[in-house]
Chains A and B, each alone.
Chain A
Amino acid sequence: MRDGLGVGVAVGSFGLSFGALSVTSGLTLLQTCALSVLAFTGGSQFAFIGVIGAGGSPITGVATAALLGSRNALYGLRLAPALKVTGARRLLGAHLVIDESAAMALAHEQPDPHPDHDDPLRASRLAFWLTGLAVFFFWNISTLVGGLLGDALSDPSVYGLDAAVPAAFLALVWPRLKTRGMWGLAALSATVALLVVPVLPAGIPVLCAGLVAVVAALLPRRADTDPTLRSAAP
């Protein structure tokens, strides 16, 4: 599956960055690998290490990570009819619900030329499991390698690695900035966060900025900010 390999390489480079940045943010190699194995969701992992690296409390890190992980619940919602998993397989499958597996599953929902009439969504389900497992493998291997490389460096700021963290977040949000509405939301959120930095402990400003989204989601629906669950941004 050439698709799978492409995703693997992308995930691998992503994981490499995570591993390196995590250890330079103050986590041990074990903690770093634990995050990739047990949390297994990129945006949340970067958020947690970002907060820790900036001196925020772990509690704030957990809250930020959890909020960023909320979209996985929406993926699960969308995938549940196709996956039809129950019991142990549901418990296992849940762990693999991430951007990539969801995107592949949704992409394969189109009827294929020789559909299995008893199970028309078989291609979608297969795509989900294969992608999920492949990503799990590449993500964790690359995290380990990145962590080992990061451990080999002495002073992060000398190597400019403190610029790597915001750059990574920027790269994560960039694909979602497709409309004027999204740009406006991003700009407003960033401004709100910066305004409260002098008065709130590290990490809290980001959570405050989340309130902008909470309010914005209440506003009357506009065509240019209609959400689409097909965005495959990590």
Chain B
Amino acid sequence: MRPMGTEAMPVEERVPLHFVLNGRPVDTWAAPHETLLAVLRDTVGATEVKYGCGEGVCGTCTVLVDGAPTNACLIFGIQVAGHAVMTAKGLATEGDLHPLQRAFVSHEAAQCGFCTPGMLLVAYAFLRDHPGATRREIRAAIAGNLCRCTGYTRIVDAIAACAGTREAPAERAE
């Protein structure tokens, strides 16, 4: 994939970077100081990864690196050399929405949608490791991802629906 868009550094100061993005190999260049977020957004064009704070607090830029939720603003791009990166665009298979994506739609768990890509990936990784999680556990799992629109109830509803959680939403004293 050729570099595109805003170049953060002159090409001669860059190093080759090879990694896998959503199952496809990426051969590109990155300056050593560039965050993974900058490489994904500005060089590779993966704008589904959003910038929210740049300080690792809001979780908006979350991607999965070898399956582990990672703030893309907190690591360098060159740190993913040889690793697999997954973004929200990696969730759907052949155009079919992932069950979590479908649940977010049917529960209207996204309003402005800006936190949604990161939120979906955290939920995906969490349910993979914790099928049948409780609402309380789901709340703990997404605590590193801020949402300013929904108040979280619908997000927990959507994730719980995919976890097969039996508790009724909005009824608990938690």
Are A and B co-members of a single complex?
Answer: no
Which residues on A are within 8 Å of B, measured CB to CB? none
